[in-house]
Chains A and B, each alone.
Chain A
Amino acid sequence: MQTLVTFFNEVGWLANLIGIATFVGGGVAFFFRFVQPRIAAARIDKMVPADLAQKWGESMSKAIAKIAIVDDQPADFPVAELKANGYQVQTYKQVTLATTAQLAAYDIVFLDMKGIVKDDPENGGLKLIGELRRLNPSQKVCAVSSKTFDINATEFFRQADDAKKKPLTAHECRAVINQFLAELFDPQVIMASGTQAQQQLPRARRAELVGLMTKFKKQEVSLEQFREGTAKIVADASLAYRMVNLARVAAHAS
């Protein structure tokens, strides 16, 4: 230590300054060249535009949200009016249990209980809602059945996020959908999901996810590929779907 002090005392002040500046500058350059990109590459919350709350509105949620109506009597829904209002609605008179994964990709599902599953017309709706819940816990399901008086249907209604009597008016449909959209795509919800992922996922997974999100944003991967990729990176199915929503919102907002 004494030798080091003696050395600095013996050289001039300019040489001292250059020596210290070179050391500090080298450290800063190293941080920005190697450390900072690694930190930034794992910041999921930074994928969301800072001004999302100002930018985002109901019309933007409508533009990205996919809605499915699964009912053997589609006339009970004001489909044309909803489409005219800008909602992206797809109707299914019947589905099969084998195609549940396809239905799980929708953000909102209006689901009847009986007669809608080809393989099991009696109890298909109950099986389907359980499977949808398992595959996509973030999905919003509105149970639409006049079977409320049937005690055997209780489990079906209990698993849904909301329940409505048919036929639904356009006003009722819009109220349900807009409430669900707010719960799915509200900027506060999206930011909270980003923060949660940031805290829960290990750094390597976050970096992998941010990389995939960037590719999705640049349209290098499709929504389907992005969804599959996210499911492989994030084990928690609910968080995985919310990460997909976060990326969809981020991509649409920017």
Chain B
Amino acid sequence: MQASVLLSSGAIRTPWPVVIGDVVAAAPELPISETCARKCQEVKLCSAEQRSGEHRCVHGMSFYVTKVGDERALIFGVRGERNDTPLNRYTKDGLKGRSVTQAAIDAWSDGLAKLLLSVETNFRERQAEMLDPLHDPIRLAKQVNTIANRLVQIHSHGATLDQQIANASVELKTLVKASDLLSDAFDLLTIYFNPNAATFGRRGAISPHGLITKLISIFRIDDGGVTRSSARIFMNGSCYRNIFVFESFKLIPFALLSNAVKYSLQGNIEVVVDDRRGHVEFAVTSVGPPIDDDEREKIFQRKGRGRWAERVVDGRGVGLYLAQIIARAHGTAISVSSVRTGSVSDGIPLARNTFSLQLPTA
């Protein structure tokens, strides 16, 4: 929880006029100074100050800047210890009875920070308790996935795993697909609750080409409608180099491909993995609902969805949000381009959407 949220709730009273974030709170015991009210009605000159400590404004009033949690707090319209403005008929109404010390400010901000920390700790403990039942399902999902892949190796034939999957029985294919998607879904859930998990473990070398090939072979499996599949995924580009990434990285193409399968309304889904000078470029392109310019940041935010996408299919708006968290954990970012094709499908205009990211090579 942030201090500004706590302040705006009205649950706490402050001893001085305070600004935290966009929230301005007057104190019942110390109303806003007449000088502040008169001289700085719209724009408070003190609000631009970023340096912590006591300051004096041009109108002779003191203000303090401090931090509460990760937010800046401004205590304004007071008389500080270093304020030597002489009391006269112009200033006395603004300054009288408004003395505040740095020690009192520190004690107040420390107290508030402790309260926020206590709320945060309590929330984390409760969240950990509530999520505890996930412990075993995550283990079991990985176990099922491992066994499914082992069964494919035993009962199918082919030089590589994707060939073995392609040659396996329908039941085995479905098992591999379901267990793989389940395992990746749990991994995404893990990062949803603990974004730090994106950087757990150490970076290891992986072949982007191998990763995408396996993912596409999983997505192509037709499991009779149990999961939404797409046989229309094609891979282009050439990439022979490895990249050094965390284990979480595989979730980015998984999330982008899931997104493309979900929203694709026409034609094929194209996945490009290409060697560029000093980096590898991933791109997933599909034709679906357009993403307007003002939505390009929103769709990567938690629960953020495009206005046209909402009309195509239900969604929670977490896949791209999590993919972007993982991309940022790798020091890069996913970008999106959306170009309208001029066609319409079921009243929804179509656009060629490309999600791409670049990663430095090993």
Taking a contact as CB atoms under 8 Å apart, the answer to whether A149 and B143 are in contact is no
Docked-complex contact B200 and A163, CB < 8 angstroms:
yes
With A151-B128, A169-B146 already in contact, the answer to whether A146 and B139 are too (CB < 8 A) is yes
Which of chain A's residues have a CB closer than 8 A to the CB of B135? Answer: 146-147
- Is the CB–CB distance between A149 and B201 below 8 Å? no
For B142, list chain A residues within 8 Å (CB).
165-167
* CA of A76 to CA of B193, assembled, Å: 24
Cβ proximity bits A133-176 to B, threshold 8 Å, 1 near / 0 not: 00000000001001111111110011011111111010000000
Q: Does B125 contact A (CB under 8 A)?
A: yes
- A162 cross-chain contacts in B, Cβ below 8 A: 201-202
Instruction: Give CA–CA (A153, B135) in the complex, Å.
Output: 13
Given contacts A154-B196, A163-B201, A165-B138, contact A148 B190 (CB under 8 A): yes
Complex Cα spacing A148 to B198, Å? 10
User: Which residues from chain A contact B134 at a C-beta distance below 8 Å?
Assistant: 146, 149
Tell me the nearest residue of chain A to B138, going by C-beta.
Answer: A146
Q: Chain A contacts of B124 at CB under 8 A? A: 151-152
Provide the B100-130 mask, 1 if CB < 8 A to any CB of A, else 0: 0000000000000000000000001101100
Closest B residue by C-beta to A167: B143
- How distant is the Cα of A193 from the Cα of B311 in the complex, in angstroms? 63
B146 touches A149 (CB 8 A): no
B residues in contact with A150, CB < 8 Å: 128, 131, 193-194
Question: A56 CA to B194 CA in the complex, in Å?
Answer: 42
Q: Which of A211-242 contact B (CB under 8 A)?
A: none
Residues of B within 8 A of A158 (CB): 196, 200
Interchain pairs with CB closer than 8 A, number: 63
**How distant is the Cα of A202 from the Cα of B135 in the complex, in angstroms?**
52
B197 A149 Cβ-Cβ under 8 A? yes
Check A148–B200 contact: CB distance below 8 A. yes
Q: In the bound complex, do residue A152 and residue B146 qualify as a contact, i.e. CB atoms below 8 Å apart?
A: no
| Contact size range, A | 20 to 34
Return A76 CB to nearest CB of chain B, in Å.
Answer: 7
Judge if B333 is at the interface, Cβ distance under 8 Å. Answer: no
List residues of chain B with CB within 8 A of the CB of A161.
Answer: 202
State how many angstroms separate the Cβ of B33 from the closest Cβ of chain A.
42
Contacting residues, chain A, for B146 (C-beta < 8 A): 167, 169
List B contacts of A163 (CB < 8 A).
Answer: 200-202, 247
B196 contact set on A, CB distance < 8 A: 151, 154, 157-158
Quick one: closest B residue to A171, CB to CB?
Answer: B146
Q: Quick one: given A76-B139, A165-B142, are A157 and B200 in contact (CB under 8 Å)?
A: yes
Are B139 and A148 interface neighbours, CB within 8 A? Answer: no
A149 contacts across to B, CB distance below 8 A: 131, 134, 138, 189-190, 193-194, 197
The interface centre, meaning the residue of A151, A153, A161 with most chain B CB atoms within 10 A of its CB, is: A151
Please, which residue of chain A has its CB at the minimum distance from the CB of B149? A169
CA distance A166 to B146 in the complex (A): 11
Which residues from chain B contact A164 at a C-beta distance below 8 Å? 201
A152 near B128 with CB under 8 A, answer yes
Contact with A along B188-212 (1 / 0, CB 8 A): 0110011011001110000000000
Cα A166 to Cα B189 in complex, Å, equals: 16
Q: Is the CB of A167 within 8 A of B139?
A: yes
Contact B139 A151 (CB under 8 A): no
A146 to B186, CA, bound (A): 11
Separation of A157 and B202 alpha carbons in the complex (Å): 10
C-alpha gap A51/B142 in the complex (Å): 44
Within 8 A of A (CB), among B130-159: 131, 134-136, 138-139, 142-143, 146
CB nearest to A165 among chain B residues: B142
- Contact (Cβ within 8 A) A151 B194: yes
CB closest residue in chain A, given B134? A149
B interface with A by C-beta (< 8 Å): 124-125, 127-128, 131, 134-136, 138-139, 142-143, 146, 189-190, 193-194, 196-197, 200-202, 247
Q: List 19 A-B contacts (CB under 8 A).
A: A76-B139, A143-B200, A148-B190, A148-B194, A149-B131, A149-B134, A149-B189, A149-B190, A149-B197, A151-B127, A151-B194, A154-B197, A157-B196, A157-B197, A158-B200, A163-B201, A163-B202, A163-B247, A165-B139
Known A143-B201, A148-B200, A150-B193; 19 more pairs at CB < 8 Å: A76-B139, A146-B135, A146-B138, A147-B135, A148-B190, A149-B189, A149-B197, A150-B128, A150-B194, A152-B124, A152-B128, A157-B197, A157-B200, A158-B200, A160-B201, A162-B201, A163-B202, A164-B201, A165-B142
Which A residues have a C-beta under 8 Å from some C-beta of B? 76, 143, 146-154, 157-158, 160-167, 169
Q: Which 3 A-B pairs have the closest CB atoms?
A: A163-B201, A149-B190, A163-B200
